[in-house]
Structure 1
Amino acid sequence: MLGLGEAREKLSNTFIARDAVRTILEFDERNRLLAVTFMWHWWLERNRVRGGEQRMEPSHLAYIAQRNTDEFQAIGGVCAEVIPREKKRWERPPQEVLKIN
């Protein structure tokens, strides 16, 4: 469905989340994005089913992950300009002010 047979094989041999992340980071960009997007949708599906909704067909879940991956890649080159925010430092209130948290 997703064409991630080799990736699935590698991930099935990992038992610790850190190893799974390292394995995913070794994938090429497309497969890395596809794997992360699929796992995200898989988690959302899990939550929906636990909430009482009907289970989605695996092929439909794979389709959604592929479609979202394509969308993410299409907008990947377009980034908004990052404007650094001014850092505010805490200042002691005036002597006559009582501040309660």
Structure 2
Amino acid sequence: MSPSVDAAKEYAAGFAAGIATVITGHPFDTVKVKLQAHNTTTQVKEYKNALHCTSRILVTEGVRGLYKGASSSFVGMAFESSLLFGIYSQAKQKLQVLNKNGYSVL
């Protein structure tokens, strides 16, 4: 395949990885922030633990409650991961070509 097609695949894979990162990680961040915000010495202890907090969110707000505020994370992580995957892949290809031609890469 041509290098541009390979690079496009790497950028697309990075984009998908960024979205997957937010899908799996954002609910944990939501629960953590709720626990930090509501279980302070000045507040009444609202949640017993992380599971109690998660169940309360699911009962009162549904699954959407776990992803509140995630839209900016989806965009940011998708593009960040896309750039990381793509640039890493292209740099690796360039270094392999240099190494194959007898140049020392280090």
Q: TM-score range by the shorter chain?
A: 0.3 to 0.5
Give 1 or 2: higher helix fraction. 2
TM (normalized to structure 1)? Answer: 0.38
